[in-house]
């Protein structure tokens, strides 16, 4: 029987298993300590950021970055309408108000012009999401313009490890950048997140806030209201093992995307967003299909042993947010977007099988 191809599954190697085994027999206390510091250092080295602070998840990395930038009650934060819900819920968790902005059709990221129009006296920050590792070339200029208006830019680079914009790693262009290491991400520690920044003041605040607001563990003197947003060395051991083969992971992600692009080319009604594999490491393989064909195509793939997943909904229309407004691009892209199998475990035969099924569906 042919194996079911899931839309996503993590790849854990012998090296990862060995790293965990070595850590477990090392006498470590499991919680964060030297392995976590080494993981942070390896993220800095890879991205070119000066500082890095781990967090328990990508969501909490966003929360930590927002709080370290003093964002809270009465502040507005501009968020793209098409993103994972956590981008917006982190803002709510920080006590601030979400203002959604539409995306632009090229990169499927925040429409920077629209975001600038939405900046008001209450706008404290913009959360820029590099969706699937893409970003507009004008991002650095946008950050500069926001800064000149007193607006902080935090990058949600949860999906963007291994992706660059104009030669800079995503996450290092704004005031702070957040990564996720959940099971589906390019590097995974099961759950986990990180904030990178070049700003020593933000970094210093993050170190306080993630450890109950105190300067050091065991010295219970609380300078600010803080929380327990620590990581674990057990996870860091896996993360470090994966960072060591990140170049290989990046190559594999790009190869998978290129294979899909080759085998889907010329199929009517299947559009692949423009992706420069010189700078982008696609986290998932994303395609746009006719709105009416999307669910029937997913069903066709499913009955033939292939998983797929719909894009995120346009968040403003979800019951959790329910915010009125016009977001035509986010709505259109959301209704057409589909993620195809994207695991590092995929081989060429499997990619060809998925593309063959799509061709068969389109041919009717
Ligand atoms: C764009 C984006 N932001 C935030 C998150 C939240 O990260 P986590 O699941 O690690 O909390 C994700 C997770 O998929 C994401 O894709």
| Beta-bridge partner residues of 127 | 154
At residue 216, the pLDDT reads 80
What's the pLDDT at 110? 98
CA-wise closest residue to 55 among 244, 237, 228, 234: 228
**The residue count for the chain:** 364
CATH number at residue 115: 3.40.640.10
Which atom of ligand 1 is found nearest the CA of 90?
4
Full residue range of the structural domain in which residue 328 is found = 246-363
274: exposed, middle or buried (Cβ count in 10 Å: 0-12, 13-18, 19+)? exposed
> Is the CB–ligand 1 distance for residue 159 below 6 Å?
yes
Sequence-distant contacts of 251-256: CB under 8 A, at least 24 apart: 252/344, 253/162, 253/186, 253/281, 253/282, 253/283, 253/344, 254/281, 254/282, 256/285, 256/342, 256/344, 256/346, 256/351
Q: Quick check: CB of 193 below 6 Å from ligand 1? A: yes
CATH number at residue 341: 3.90.1150.10
83 Cβ closer than 6 Å to some ligand 1 atom: yes
| Residue 7, in any domain of the structure | no
Q: C-alpha angle 19/21/25, rounded to 5°?
A: 120
Minimum-distance ligand 1 atom for the alpha carbon of 83: 1
Classify residue 224 as exposed, middle or buried by CB count within 10 Å of its CB (0-12, 13-18, 19+).
exposed
Same domain, residue pair 138 and 121: yes
Looking at the fold, whether 69 and 200 belong to one and the same domain comes out as: yes
**Below-50 pLDDT ranges, the chain:** none
Residue 217's pLDDT is: 78
Do 28 and 141 fall within a single domain? yes
Single residue among 213, 244, 275 that ends a domain in this structure:
244
Q: Are residues 217 and 201 in the same domain?
A: yes
Task: Collect contacts of 199-203 with beta carbons under 8 A, ≥24 apart.
Answer: 199/51, 199/175, 200/50, 200/51, 202/51, 202/65, 202/68, 202/69, 202/175, 202/176, 203/50, 203/51, 203/53, 203/68
| 329 and 295 co-located in one domain | yes
Residues 159 and 297 in one domain: no
Ligand 1 in reach of 90 Cβ (< 6 A): no
Total count of domains within the chain: 2
Q: What pLDDT score was predicted for residue 90?
A: 98
* 8 in a structural domain: no
Q: Is any atom of ligand 1 closer than 6 Å to the C-beta of 189?
A: no
Q: In angstroms, what is the span from residue 155 Cα to ligand 1's centroid?
A: 12
Which residue has the least CA distance to atom 14 on ligand 1?
Answer: 84
> Tell me, what's the pLDDT at 198?
98
Q: Are residues 222 and 277 in the same domain?
A: no
pLDDT the model gives residue 312: 98
Side-chain-facing half-sphere of 106: CA atoms under 13 Å: 7
Task: Evaluate: CB of 155 within 6 angstroms of ligand 1.
Answer: no
% residues pLDDT > 90 (the chain): 97
User: Which DSSP letter does residue 179 get?
Assistant: E
Residues 139-165: tens digit of each pLDDT: 999 999 999 999 999 999 999 999 999
Domain stop point among 211, 244, 277: 244
β partners of residue 340: 285
Q: Whose CA is nearest to atom 10 of ligand 1?
A: 58
Same domain, 214 and 286: no
Q: Does 269 lie in the same domain as 174? A: no
Specify the DSSP class assigned to residue 127.
Answer: E
pLDDT at 25: 97
Both 123 and 260 in one domain: the answer is no
Task: Assess whether the C-beta atom of 57 lies below 6 angstroms from ligand 1.
Answer: yes
């Amino acid at each position: 029987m042919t194996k079911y191809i899931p839309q996503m599954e993590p790849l854990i190697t012998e090296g990862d298993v060995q790293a965990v085994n070595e850590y477990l027999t090392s006498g470590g206390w499991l919680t964060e300590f030297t392995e976590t510091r080494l993981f942070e250092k390896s993220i800095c080295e890879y991205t070119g950021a000066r500082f890095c602070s781990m967090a328990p998840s990508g969501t909490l990395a966003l929360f930590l970055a927002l709080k370290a930038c003093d964002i809270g009650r009465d502040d507005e934060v501009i968020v793209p309408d098409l993103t994972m819900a956590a981008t917006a819920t982190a803002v709510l968790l920080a006590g601030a108000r979400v203002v959604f902005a539409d995306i632009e059709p090229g990169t499927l990221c925040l429409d920077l012009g629209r975001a600038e129009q939405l900046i008001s006296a209450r706008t404290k920050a913009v959360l820029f999401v590099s969706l699937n590792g893409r970003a507009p070339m004008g991002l650095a200029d946008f950050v500069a313009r926001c800064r000149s208006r007193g607006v902080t830019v935090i990058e949600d680079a949860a999906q963007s490890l291994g992706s660059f914009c104009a030669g800079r790693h995503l996450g290092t262009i704004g005031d702070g950048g957040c990564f996720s290491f959940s099971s589906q991400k390019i590097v995974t520690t099961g759950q986990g997140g990180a904030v990178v920044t070049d700003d020593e003041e933000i970094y210093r605040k993050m170190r306080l806030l993630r450890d109950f607001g105190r300067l050091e563990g065991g010295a219970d003197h609380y300078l600010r209201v803080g929380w327990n947003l620590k990581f674990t060395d057990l996870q860091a051991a896996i993360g470090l093992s994966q960072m060591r083969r990140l170049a290989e992971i990046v190559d594999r992600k790009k190869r998978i995307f290129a294979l899909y692009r080759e085998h889907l080319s010329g199929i009517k009604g299947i559009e692949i967003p423009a992706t420069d594999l010189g700078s982008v490491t696609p986290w998932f393989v994303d395609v746009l299909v006719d709105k009416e064909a999307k669910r029937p195509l997913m069903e066709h793939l499913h009955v033939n042993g292939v998983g797929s997943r719909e894009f995120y909904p346009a968040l403003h229309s979800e019951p959790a947010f329910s915010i009125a407004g016009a977001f035509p691009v986010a709505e259109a892209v959301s209704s057409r977007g589909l993620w195809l199998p994207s695991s590092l475990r995929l081989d060429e035969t499997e990619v060809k099988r998925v593309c063959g099924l799509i061709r068969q569906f389109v041919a009717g």
